[in-house]
């Protein structure tokens, strides 16, 4: 971390995740969701919805959406609201945002074929809700990125040991590693 703001952003992400974990339809505020979604992620999108609406009224071009972690969850929910405008959605380290009903509705809107979900190694953020008993599921086409040996022997060993003890690989979530692995995937 380079700034205290980055730490505050991480804390805000964790608070959003913890607020309410059970997926449910979101009927208050704007935008609403008639299928079960993560209420904290919906609230994150609602907190910036007015600003997004202002920008969308002055810009009618197709949307290319992307985000990492909470930003990826917000981009996914935004795409769900504006499927006719979305050209593509690229997510990095995204948690699940809704149930299988959300995924089915997302796909019915034509978004599944133009959604690319990047997963770095065993990123804990991407699978914590998927492995919960709350019935969350992912959207889009999975593209795996794996640092493996490029991490260096010491970091790879630490990640493996820590991951085997806790089943959480914290070294797989930082956005810089997603950027690095995407860069290395370019032929």
User: Structural domain of residue 64, as residue ranges?
Assistant: 4-185
The predicted model gives 165-179 an average pLDDT of 74
Q: CA 36, CA 17: separation in Å to the nearest integer?
A: 15
| Structural domain count of the chain | 1
User: To which residue do tokens 């690229």 refer?
Assistant: 90
Average pLDDT, the chain: 86
| Rounded-to-integer distance, Cα 139 and Cα 114, Å | 10
Q: Which of 3-7, 8-12, 59-63, 148-152 has the lowest mean pLDDT?
A: 148-152
C-alpha triplet 118, 119, 125: angle, nearest 5°: 120
Tell me the per-residue pLDDT of 115-138, one tens digit each, with 9 for 90 and over.
999 998 878 788 877 777 778 999
CATH of the domain at 97: 3.40.50.1820
Asked if 76 and 101 count as a contact pair (C-beta separation under 8 A), the reply is: no
Per-residue pLDDT reduced to its tens digit, 84-104: 999 999 999 999 999 999 999
């Amino acid at each position: 971390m380079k700034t205290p703001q980055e730490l505050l952003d991480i804390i805000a992400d964790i608070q959003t995740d913890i607020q309410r974990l059970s997926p449910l339809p979101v009927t208050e505020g704007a935008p609403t969701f008639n299928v079960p979604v993560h209420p904290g992620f919906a609230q994150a999108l609602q907190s910036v919805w007015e600003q997004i609406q202002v920008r969308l009224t002055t810009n009618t071009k197709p949307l290319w959406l992307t985000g990492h972690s909470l930003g990826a969850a917000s981009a996914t929910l935004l795409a769900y609201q504006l499927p006719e405008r979305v050209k593509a959605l690229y997510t990095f380290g995204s948690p699940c945002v809704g149930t299988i009903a959300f995924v089915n509705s997302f796909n019915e809107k034509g978004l599944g074929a133009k959604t690319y979900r990047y997963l770095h190694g065993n990123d804990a953020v991407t699978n914590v809700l998927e492995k919960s008993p709350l019935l969350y599921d992912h959207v889009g086409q999975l593209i795996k990125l794996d640092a493996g040996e490029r991490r260096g022997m010491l970091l790879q060993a630490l990640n493996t040991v820590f991951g085997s003890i806790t089943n959480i690989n914290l070294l797989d979530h930082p956005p810089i590693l997603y950027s690095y692995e995407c860069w290395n995937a370019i032929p």
